[in-house]
């Protein structure tokens, strides 16, 4: 089969397209003929050797859609151990979820890592309430665009999208944000308050770190929640518990991978997301579909923030 292997840490040159043997499934695994594989920001960290470091070479890719070899059923599957950037993937059967007939493979992959993350950061970690104001950082990205739509569906009072370019801010508004603001950290708190008619906000979904985190933290109203689920800037978040106490706010974190130990926390939300798509109430934004031979371009587009929405590979 054809697959993309990471052969050295660092730049995109470490990603090589090669002919390799098909994977041998372990007990509890099934083979999937892959039609789509997701490209995620965590893959950038894996490529640089700063996240989830393992021995090389390895096949990246933590989510796929395709058909099970044993049953022919269309499934969307999580592959956090890697193996998604390939024509065939071995996946844990418990993490292979049936795709409804009227949901496409592109949308199904977009609802795995990005969709499930958006679901849980808005509902489970952010605990968004009816009428509350929420800020969504990276609002034109795969998670952000879905979080904006879910916040709208679940009764947010005001949705503020933050993004780096006019095009991305326009996309955030098209997905349902009431207003979109520049994501630059300088004077970010003032922009957030201005976008919320001078009032502080109830929930912030924060993926950047550094000064964006600090500015967002101080834009929270009493009993507000800030949810962190990524550090795109590479800058640490440094907040002592005493500061949270003085602000009367809560800090929550979210990472999808530990939920694989309790698959029902994935399958039930995913079924709900599929239903929203089928009803036309949720529209995953597919940025671009690349061939396996274009994987270096996909990584560069994502890392250099040239992309919007979900990026996919078509093995």
pLDDT tens digits for range 262-296: 999 999 999 999 999 999 999 999 999 999 999 99
The whole-model pTM stands at 0.93
The number of folded domains in the chain is: 2
pLDDT for the residue 308 = 87
For residue 99, give the CATH number of its domain: 3.90.180.10
Please identify every stretch of the chain with a pLDDT value under 50, giving residue numbers as ranges.
Answer: none
pLDDT of residue 116: 97
**Domain match, 225 and 308 both:** no
269 within a domain of the structure (yes/no) = no
Rounded to an integer, what distance in angstroms lies between the CA atom of residue 279 and that of residue 184?
A: 36
Other beta carbons less than 10 A from residue 69's beta carbon? 14
What per-residue confidence (pLDDT) applies to 54? 77
The residue range of the domain holding 202 is 115-257
d(CA 183, CA 186): 9
Q: Are residues 151 and 240 in the same domain?
A: yes
Comparing CA positions, the residue from 315, 257, 264, 260 lying closest to residue 290 is: 315
The pLDDT value recorded for residue 50 is 86
Q: Which CATH number belongs to the domain containing residue 221 in this structure?
A: 3.40.50.720
At 55 the pLDDT is 84
């Amino acid at each position: 089969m054809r697959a993309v292997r990471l052969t050295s840490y660092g730049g995109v040159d470490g990603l090589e397209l090669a002919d390799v043997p098909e994977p041998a499934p372990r007990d509890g695994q099934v083979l999937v003929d892959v039609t789509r594989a997701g490209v995620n920001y965590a893959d950038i960290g894996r490529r640089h050797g700063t996240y989830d470091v393992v021995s090389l070479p390895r096949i990246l890719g933590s989510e796929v859609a395709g058909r099970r070899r044993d049953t022919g059923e269309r499934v969307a599957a999580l592959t956090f151990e890697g193996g998604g950037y390939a024509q065939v993937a071995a996946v844990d059967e418990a993490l292979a979820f049936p795709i409804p007939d009227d949901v496409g493979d592109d949308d199904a992959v977009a609802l795995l890592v990005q969709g499930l993350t958006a679901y849980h950061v808005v509902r489970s970690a952010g605990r968004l309430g009816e009428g509350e104001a929420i800020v969504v950082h990276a609002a034109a990205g795969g998670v952000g665009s879905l979080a904006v739509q879910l916040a709208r569906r679940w009764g947010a009072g005001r949705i503020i999208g933050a993004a780096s370019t006019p095009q991305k801010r326009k996309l955030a508004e098209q997905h349902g944000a009431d207003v979109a603001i520049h994501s630059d950290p300088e004077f970010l708190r003032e922009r957030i308050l201005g976008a919320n008619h001078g009032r502080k906000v109830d929930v912030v979904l924060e993926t950047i770190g550094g000064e964006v985190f600090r500015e967002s933290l101080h834009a929270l109203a009493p009993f507000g929640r800030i949810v962190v689920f990524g550090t795109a800037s590479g800058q640490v978040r440094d907040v002592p518990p005493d500061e949270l106490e003085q602000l009367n706010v809560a800090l929550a974190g979210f990472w999808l991978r530990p939920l694989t130990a309790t698959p029902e926390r994935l399958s039930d939300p995913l079924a709900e997301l599929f239903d929203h798509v089928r009803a036309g109430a949720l529209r995953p934004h597919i940025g671009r579909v690349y061939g396996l031979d274009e994987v270096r371009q996909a990584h560069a587009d994502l890392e250099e923030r040239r992309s919007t929405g979900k990026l996919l590979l078509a093995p």
